[in-house]
């Protein structure tokens, strides 16, 4: 073979080889591309099937969830939007106690039935379900504002639980920290009576609220007092510390009518006169107060020292008696009904005391054994009246006047 022919042959062979490679390359590329597209399509379809459906339900609240310093007078309320509640739980602190609440009939609203406590962490857990039955679960927390004791007011109630008292006894709620928003607190005070009797609250001060019926209690009345003030705003940054209640009973209508000028006391029980008792009341300069008084407390024996009513030891009128018997207080300033054996000669004819109403030991013992806290003592015959708040003075105003002292009048 000549060199020219050999060269031509090699060139032709190279050309054929190149063409063969080109054809071979075209035949392998398309199937590879086709398989890759098919795999991607399958993977995307699988991912769509595995992706969970999301519930459209959500929950809103009237407190700042994940917040702090939530006011204690808030009543927590939760609302399910685009769905309804399957479960609501609001736990307190470590979770041993739960905040009580009530669900609406359609399951879309939950509202607490008790107020919050200061300085506590609350955890809110909810499950809300949308119309497709898909559930949305949510758990979050909030913390309430902490309060010092000076920022909380504690209510004390009189009469005491289970006590039997007289027909003149007012309901008394005393506060240890002053209430400046009286109206807001009074809205959460209530008195239920059986049989029912009309009455009103009256505020003596920021520390004390009283309730009395329009006229003396009916004997045998059952009374329940509720001071539902826990976490209620009392004004000036103060909140109710605790809710309290007490139930008591009204006993017989014991009413003693004292005529200082006539030196006598007539004692009635349920409208019937039991006895007329000779007495001696306050002499000149120590006049016994006229007005409607109520027995505040009883002492079988009491020490009486005139220094407590402003008579000093160097005063000729000073006295100190260690064993005054059958003493029943009717004013905070020191008026009592009591046995006064030292003035028996004046009883029924002259007033010789320093303001108390004295009687014989026998009559004092008799009255003491019949009487109790809340019994009425009506005094007439002097020109000295009762000072408001000097004892249980609730009956020295007409009911219309008394009602004006309510914060809600």
Active site residues per annotation: 338, 356
- Cβ–Cβ under 8 Å, residues 380 and 353: no
What does each C-alpha distance from 93 to 118, 240, 267, 329 come to in angstroms? Answer: 11, 20, 59, 48
Token pair in block for residue 272:
């019937």
3-class secondary-structure state, position 28: helix
Of 60, 144, 136, 129, nearest in space to 99 by CA: 144
Of 337, 326, 356, 377, nearest in space to 167 by CA: 377
Token pair in block for residue 312:
């000093």
d(CA 363, CA 368): 8
d(CA 379, CA 296): 15
Cross-strand bridge partners of residue 383: none
d(CA 141, CA 81): 20
- Cβ–Cβ under 8 Å, residues 122 and 86: no
268 Cβ neighbours under 8 A, 6+ residues apart: 253, 254, 255, 256, 257, 274
CA 399, 401, 402 angle in degrees (round to 5)? 60
Token pair in block for residue 290:
């006229």
Of 258, 289, 259, 263, nearest in space to 346 by CA: 263
d(CA 402, CA 409): 10
């Amino acid at each position: 073979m000549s060199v020219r022919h050999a060269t031509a042959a090699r060139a032709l062979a190279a050309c054929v080889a190149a063409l063969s490679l080109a054809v071979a390359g075209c035949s392998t590329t398309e199937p590879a591309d086709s398989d890759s597209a098919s795999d991607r399509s399958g993977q995307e379809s699988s991912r769509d099937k595995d992706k969970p459906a999301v519930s459209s339900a959500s929950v809103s609240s009237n407190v700042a969830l994940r917040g702090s310093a939530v006011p204690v007078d808030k009543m927590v309320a939760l609302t399910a939007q685009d769905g309804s509640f399957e479960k609501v739980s609001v736990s307190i602190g470590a979770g041993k106690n739960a905040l009580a609440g009530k669900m609406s009939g359609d399951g879309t609203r939950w509202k607490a039935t008790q107020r919050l406590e200061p300085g506590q962490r609350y955890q809110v857990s909810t499950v809300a379900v949308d119309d497709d039955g898909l559930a949305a679960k949510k758990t979050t927390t909030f913390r309430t504002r902490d309060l010092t004791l000076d920022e909380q007011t504690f209510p004390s109630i009189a009469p005491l639980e289970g006590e039997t008292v007289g027909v003149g006894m007012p309901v008394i709620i005393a506060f240890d920290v002053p209430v400046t928003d009286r109206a807001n607190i009074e809205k959460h005070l209530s008195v239920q009576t059986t049989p029912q009797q009309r009455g009103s609250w009256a505020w003596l001060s920021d520390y004390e609220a009283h309730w009395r019926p329009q006229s003396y209690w009916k004997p045998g009345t059952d009374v329940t007092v509720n001071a539902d003030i826990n976490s209620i705003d009392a004004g000036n940054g103060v909140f109710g510390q605790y809710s309290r209640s007490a139930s008591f009973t009204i006993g017989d209508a014991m009413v003693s009518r004292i005529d200082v000028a006539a030196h006598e006391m007539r004692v009635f029980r349920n409208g019937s006169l039991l006895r007329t008792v000779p007495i001696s009341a306050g002499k000149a300069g120590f006049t016994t107060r006229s007005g409607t008084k109520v027995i505040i407390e009883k002492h079988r024996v009491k020490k009486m020292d005139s220094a407590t009513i402003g008579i000093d030891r160097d005063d000729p009128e000073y006295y100190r008696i260690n064993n005054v018997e059958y003493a029943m207080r009717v004013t905070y300033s020191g008026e009592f009904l009591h046995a006064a054996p030292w003035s028996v000669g004046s009883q029924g004819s002259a007033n010789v005391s320093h303001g108390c109403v004295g009687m014989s030991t026998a009559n004092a013992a008799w009255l003491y054994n019949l009487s109790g806290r809340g019994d009425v003592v009506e005094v007439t015959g002097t020109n000295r009246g009762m000072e408001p708040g000097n004892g249980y003075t609730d009956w020295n105003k007409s009911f219309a006047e008394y009602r004006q002292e309510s914060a809600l009048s």
